[in-house]
């Protein structure tokens, strides 16, 4: 039986990875480590929380002693590292929180793995990162695994730094590592500070839809369950020391995407066409707002056989249905700490 540590497993992407591994690999013990900040929610895993091969550990990756103790307790065979602060706006307001979690936390995990794994045969440290480390593209071109790093926000700078430390541990200490950089994820269980769940929730409540600048920024959208499948492939079949870019082949201007979302929401909510689009309001652009991200995912397709399973329109439809069917989940996660934070940020705009 392999014992796999998944950090950030109560979060959006992490919960889908935890669920996949629990169900697909009953002979693995899956240890979910999460600090349970505002974006970590064990409600995301109620369907698997009683699985015999699942354990939850509440801990902070910034606490080096706790991490070393967990490695001693479980003797992990592998790490899938998703725990991170991930919201760009929050990184602009509080960059040190992102440096501590994304950089120091990653180094603590690397050090614990290095100390625990005297013999690295069969071991693997898998670090999940973002396409934002590459900076911003013009109208043409795609990010590849060899694109030079050019982070533009405290969030992307912290993730870029953690990527470099993972590679440094590989080259200096022969740590068996793989890294992936993904595009914008969407799907069920995403905390409603990100664009799609935020706007879905605001449309339901007839609240304004604040669009940065002119809404011309372009993003590549990746369905979270497709991302989890890619993580599974990379963990089991990726080559040590390699990086894999994961993209959804779905480039959309923010404003175009929002208008499509509004149209679908009007249909599903039984509203007159154009009702939701009237909620769009334009706000001052985000500081350091990258214009365009787009990923070349040909390497993972050629080497590991991964391709997205859904076209964006189908994934968006499934995502909207999930949020409409799980309004209680939205109400629970938007109460308390998040609600206070969001109100403060919205008032600043």
Q: What is d(CA 155, CA 161) in angstroms, rounded to the nearest whole number?
A: 10
- Among residues 33, 159, 20, 21, which one has the least CA distance to residue 98? 159
| Active-site position among 34, 60, 85, 131 | 131
Instruction: Region of 145 please: left (phi>0), alpha (psi -120 to 50) or beta.
Output: alpha
- Among residues 10, 12, 24, 85, which one has the least CA distance to residue 235? 24
Strands 218-223 and 251-253: antiparallel
Concerning whether 145 is annotated as a catalytic residue, the answer is no
| Active-site position among 34, 132, 220, 226 | 132
Concerning whether 303 is annotated as a catalytic residue, the answer is no
Alpha helices in the chain (DSSP H): 12-24, 64-74, 88-93, 95-98, 105-116, 154-173, 195-204, 224-237, 254-269, 298-304, 312-325, 327-333, 337-348
| Active-site position among 38, 155, 212, 293 | 155
- Among residues 170, 301, 175, which one has the least CA distance to residue 234? 301
Concerning whether 132 is annotated as a catalytic residue, the answer is yes
Classify residue 222 by its DSSP letter.
Answer: E
Cβ contact 133:161 at 8 Å: no
CA 320, 324, 326, 328 torsion: positive or negative?
positive
Tokens read off for 323: 């949020």
Residues with catalytic annotation? 131-132, 155
């Amino acid at each position: 039986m392999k014992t796999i540590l998944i950090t950030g497993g109560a979060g959006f992407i992490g919960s889908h990875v935890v669920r996949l591994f629990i169900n697909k690999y009953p002979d693995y013990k899956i240890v979910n480590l999460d600090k349970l900040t505002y974006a970590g929610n064990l409600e995301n895993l109620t369907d698997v929380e009683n699985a015999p091969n699942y354990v939850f550990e509440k801990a902070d990756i910034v606490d080096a002693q706790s991490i070393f103790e967990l490695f001693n307790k479980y003797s992990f065979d592998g790490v899938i590292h998703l725990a991170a602060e991930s919201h760009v706006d929050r990184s602009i307001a509080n960059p040190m929180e992102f440096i501590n979690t994304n950089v120091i936390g990653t180094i603590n995990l690397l050090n614990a793995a290095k100390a625990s794994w005297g013999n690295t045969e069969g071991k693997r440290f898998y670090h999940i990162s973002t396409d934002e480390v590459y900076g911003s593209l013009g109208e043409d071109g795609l990010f590849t695994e060899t694109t030079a790093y050019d982070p533009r926000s405290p969030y992307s700078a912290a993730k870029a730094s953690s990527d470099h430390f993972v590679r440094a541990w590989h080259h200096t200490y022969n740590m068996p590592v793989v890294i992936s950089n993904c595009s914008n994820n969407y799907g069920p269980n995403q905390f409603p500070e990100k664009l799609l769940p935020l706007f879905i929730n605001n449309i339901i409540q007839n609240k304004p839809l604040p669009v940065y600048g002119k809404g011309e920024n372009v993003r590549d959208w990746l369905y979270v369950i497709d991302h989890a499948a890619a993580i599974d492939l990379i963990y089991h079949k990726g080559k040590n020391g390699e990086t894999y870019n994961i993209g959804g082949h779905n480039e959309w201007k923010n404003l175009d995407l929002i208008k499509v979302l509004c149209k679908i929401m009007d249909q599903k909510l039984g509203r007159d066409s154009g009702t939701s689009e009237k909620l769009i309001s334009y706000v001052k652009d985000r500081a350091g707002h990258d214009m365009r991200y787009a990923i070349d995912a040909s390497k993972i397709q050629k080497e590991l056989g991964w391709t997205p399973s859904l076209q964006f329109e189908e994934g968006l439809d499934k995502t909207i249905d999930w949020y409409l069917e799980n309004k209680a989940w939205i109400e629970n996660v938007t109460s308390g700490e998040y609600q206070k934070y969001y109100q403060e940020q919205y008032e600043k705009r």
